[in-house]
Structure 1
Amino acid sequence: MTNKIYAFCGLSGTGKTTVARIISEFYDLPFIVSCTTRPMRPGEKDGKDYRFVDDHTWNKLSKNGALAATQEFKVACGSVWKYGIKRDDLKDSCVMVLTPSGINELRAAGYNVVSFYITMIEETRLKRIGCRNDNQSNAEIVRRTKADKAVFKKFTPDYIIDNSGELADTILYVAQQMSKEKSGK
């Protein structure tokens, strides 16, 4: 079987990470976390949510070609946060959360990526973002929402899933599509 990267993407607050983690456990596939230079939010754990690195470590990894699907975001406070995946994590089938550009970059590099775009009713999504209690400013939430919408307009995923209803229904749909992918249909 060819190794596949099952990549989940979606606007902030759609539940993409929750869905990806459940699928990772269900299929016993590693959940790959991105490296990032952004500060850790309350409740996050290094190695579980992200691999938090400083700029020096990031630059060293980047210079050595150890990162793939890299992206930079200028945030509302003026800082630049960098994200990327360690290439060593991409040797086997896995599950991860990526941006559309990260998915496209991995595909262009020859990786077999199956993409799931998680959507949700806008009102529910914005409520989720506001309830995270992760100290994001309103300016940052607005910036992310605008940036996300611009990026996703140009992206064509393999599967689109509306996560506005029951999480179990979303998981079942994803599992059905993954079973088809695994069987080559």
Structure 2
Amino acid sequence: MYKIKEKEKLFIYTGPDGSGRKTVAKMVATAFDMETVLSYTTRPPRHYETNGEDYHFVDEETFTKLNHDGEFLEAVEIDGIYYGIREADIVKAFENHNLVYLTLNPEGTEKLKNIYGDRVMRFFIYANRDTVISRQQERGDNESDIERHLAHYDEIMTYKNECEYVFENYDSPQISYQISEEIEKFLDRDIIVTDY
């Protein structure tokens, strides 16, 4: 198990699909020189997604082998689709950056929080149900995907009470700015000043 060093922090964005988690996470990352770690998934890419940029898209056989070989720190199955984060990818991200971010579902978020404790800062990003539907329609998700995501909406929303920070994403640049301010405060608290 990789032990996160003193200055290293993991920022995890979670919340319902269509809430703009990835958009916000990318905006915040540019202000802090953050590296991201992508999940592996067995689902096919959506038309706007790119392998190696949004996810590592793999077949079930490859995923099962990686899981069997103990490559994943956490692996979950949702509606017959598998998702996982490789420990090696987190280690590699920390080689050049002290700050690393991920976008995960609540199950994956909780697993990493349990592993890394106070080194993890969780941001729950959400939008109301109608906004989520319209965002998914705008990006061209098919109706069955939208229905699948909405089936989990209420369950995912219950996780917001577990997270350190909760933001309703009505305006991504504004929310990114607010999150950046929270991260600044969080990082300042960790600076140890020694008076001689």
Mapped contact 1:20–1:95 kept (Cα < 8 A): yes
Match of 1:108 among 103, 111, 114: 114
Comparing 42-51 and 138-147, the one that deviates more: 138-147
- 1:42-61 matches, within 5 Å, as 42-61=47-66
The yes-or-no answer on 1:126 pairing with 2:139 is no
Mapped contact 2:11–2:122 kept (Cα < 8 A): yes
Comparing 49-58 and 141-150, the one that deviates more: 141-150
Question: Which amino acid in the other structure matches residue 88 of structure 1?
Answer: A
Please give the TM-score of this superposition, normalised by the length of structure 1.
0.88
- 1:1-185 matches, within 5 Å, as 1-74=6-79, 80-91=80-91, 92=94, 93-110=99-116, 112-134=119-141, 136=142, 138-155=143-160, 156-164=162-170, 166-184=171-189
Partner of 1:77: none
Q: Distance in 2 between matches of 1:50 and 1:6?
A: 17
Backbone CA RMSD of aligned residues = 1.6
Q: CA deviation at 1:152?
A: 3.0
Mapped contact 1:69–1:103 kept (Cα < 8 A): no
Q: Is the helix fraction higher in 1 or 2? A: 2
Please give the TM-score of this superposition, normalised by the length of structure 2.
0.83
Structure 1: stretches of 5+ with no match in the other structure:
75-79
Q: CA deviation at 1:46?
A: 0.6
Q: CA deviation at 1:154?
A: 4.1
Q: CA deviation at 1:11?
A: 0.9
Mapped contact 1:71–1:82 kept (Cα < 8 A): yes
Q: Distance in 2 between matches of 1:162 and 1:151?
A: 14
Mapped contact 1:103–1:113 kept (Cα < 8 A): no
Q: Distance in 2 between matches of 1:8 and 1:157?
A: 10
Q: Distance in 1 between matches of 2:10 and 2:135?
A: 27
Number of matched residues? 177
Give runs of ≥4 in structure 1 deviating > 4 Å.
Answer: none
Q: CA deviation at 1:171?
A: 1.0
Pair member with larger Rg: 2
Q: Distance in 1 between matches of 2:30 and 2:159?
A: 31
